[in-house]
Structure 1
């Protein structure tokens, strides 16, 4: 575990994270700090705790919307995969049918050829 110091709303916080995750944690802290700054400019000085809660709820709302979009895309992907599987199955059936027809035509040609070859000229 690595210790990282981040600053949010002018306060420094020491946090632990996995090795290699320092930049990610610092980026998250910067995004949270920026959101608090945006809200402070929009709503004025309404208290740090309230600004922190509002920023957290804003991110939670965005996360909820993203999860909803992911679920919708997963459902759309599942439908597309099912449609592709059905098309593949139909294509395989058509190929089998075509192969049977080509085989039947070849057999008919062979019979006609044999019939013509057996007739005297």
Structure 2
């Protein structure tokens, strides 16, 4: 397992990844950093955790729209029990990312 240091909103973060995936992680981190910086420009300073969460939601929305554009039908629901498995997976991933970000920001 490799470790890559990426910079998000001016702060370095060490990220583990599979060997050979370092460049892909760097590219994805730059894309995420662009979203975080745009959210920060739009809403001002609200703390890294909220910036990261808002940027993740923007990315999730873009993914949703892209899936709709290629013909995939996804129905968003407010009911936790009615979410399709793909959405449940995204929600679970977002929760995991949020928990990890909280842990990171507590250690700063």
Q: Same fold, TM exceeding 0.5? A: yes
Greater C-alpha Rg: 1
Equivalents in 1 of 2:31, 2:57: separation in Å?
14
Q: Which consecutive aligned stretches of 4+ in structure 1 deviate over 6 angstroms post-superposition? A: none
- In structure 2, distance between residues paired with 1:40 and 1:48: 9
Quick one: distance in 2 between partners of 1:3 and 1:51? 24
Q: CA RMSD in A?
A: 1.4
Once residues 67 and 22 of structure 2 are traced to their aligned partners in structure 1, the CA distance between those partners, rounded to angstroms, is: 25
What are the ranges of 5 or more consecutive residues in structure 1 without an aligned counterpart? Answer: 73-121
TM-score by length of 1: 0.54
Kindly provide the CA deviation profile for residues 40-87 of structure 1, in whole angstroms up to 9, marking residues without a partner as x.
Answer: 112111222111111000000111111222335xxxxxxxxxxxxxxx
Q: Does 1 or 2 have the higher relative contact order (CA < 8 Å, sep 6+)?
A: 2
**Equivalent residue, structure 2, for 1:107:** none
TM-score under structure 2 length normalisation: 0.60
